[in-house]
Amino acid sequence: MNPELRHYLADRRAAVEEALDQYSACPGSPPRLVEAMRYSLLAGGKRLRPILVIAAAEMFGLSAADVMPTACALEMIHTYSLIHDDLPCMDDDDLRRGRPTSHKVFGEAMAVLAGDALLTRAFAVMAEQGRVERVGPARALRAIAELAEAAGAAGMVGGQVEDLEWEGRQAGEEQLERIHSLKTGALFRAAVRLGGVLAGAAEADVARLDDFAAHFGLAFQIWDDVLDVAGDAALTGKGVGRDARQQKSTYVTLHGLEGAQERARAAVQRALEAIAPFGANGWVLQGLAKYVVDRAT
């Protein structure tokens, strides 16, 4: 990763961390619940999804502060999904972001409730987007609707359901791509699209962002499949080998390790082609796409 991109990511990540800390205070709520929410939300991580919101919005003239409510709402939804994904009834994971998963620390019931609270808190935070003068209520309302759709039954949750239904049997290429386009890709597409929508980008440009994010999300998921086989838990911050234990369909089981890596790199190339018309203005998105297949975590 080049130094300029590294500096950009560190700066935007710090801003997101500060805002998440403020938005998750939740005064008047049961202290143990707030503790559980913040345990997972403030556990670090790349903050890739909120940074994608910010980077897309900045391409069209907004600032990170202008879209911070949406960026943080998206990260809350992502974190809730991880808490629930780690539960014994789902993927049954013990490690997330380098430390014990929520249910291992707070118990299953509190983990479920912490996830529920983060999901609902996300939309309270998102509603604040309409008060930002450079965005306005009309764009904010569209963004709220798009985020709800991406996170729900026709998006992330639907993808999780299909992923569970295919456990123990090998999905084909078409089905596997559908699962990942929903389970992982839906929030990536939402992140990049929302940055453009909030900035008032032309529909043709929002479509280009959407195309980029679809390929970006696919590359990201394929590389996650690769890391689950070839990664190091000390670097990834989560358990490895779980896909094989749960007999999940992955790009590695379908195409082998090298075949999966080739497909991830091809997806990155298609993502870069989608935003080529933006030229130098798209440098952050370009750098993030290239980083996907270089990461060890």
For residue 244, what pLDDT is reported?
Answer: 52
Q: What is the pLDDT of residues 38-58, one digit of tens each?
A: 999 999 889 999 999 999 999
Which residue type, as a one-letter code, is found at position 12? R
Least confident of 71-80, 136-145, 175-184, 229-238: 229-238
72 vs 90: CA distance, rounded Å: 25
For residue 230, what pLDDT is reported?
Answer: 74
Q: In percent, how much of the chain has pLDDT > 90?
A: 74
Here the tokens at position 105 are: 């620390």
Angle of CA points 17, 20, 22, to nearest 5°: 115
Task: Please name the residue that has the structure tokens 């699209």.
Answer: 193
86 vs 75: CA distance, rounded Å: 17
For residue 3, what pLDDT is reported?
Answer: 92
Least confident of 37-51, 58-72, 187-201, 235-249: 235-249
185 vs 156: CA distance, rounded Å: 8
Nearest 5°: phi and psi at 232? Answer: -115, 120
Q: What is the pLDDT of residues 232-276, one digit of tens each?
A: 544 444 445 565 555 567 888 888 999 999 999 999 999 999 999
65 neighbors 58 (Cβ within 8 angstroms): no
For residue 75, what pLDDT is reported?
Answer: 98
If you average pLDDT over each of 157-166, 243-252, 273-282, which comes out highest? 273-282
115 neighbors 84 (Cβ within 8 angstroms): yes
* Residue 90 β-bridge partners: none
70 vs 126: CA distance, rounded Å: 5
For residue 295, what pLDDT is reported?
Answer: 74
Helix or strand or coil: residue 134?
coil
Give rounded-to-5 percent helix, strand, coil for the chain.
75, 0, 25
Q: What is the pLDDT of residues 108-118, one digit of tens each?
A: 999 999 999 99
Mean pLDDT value of segment 89-99: 89
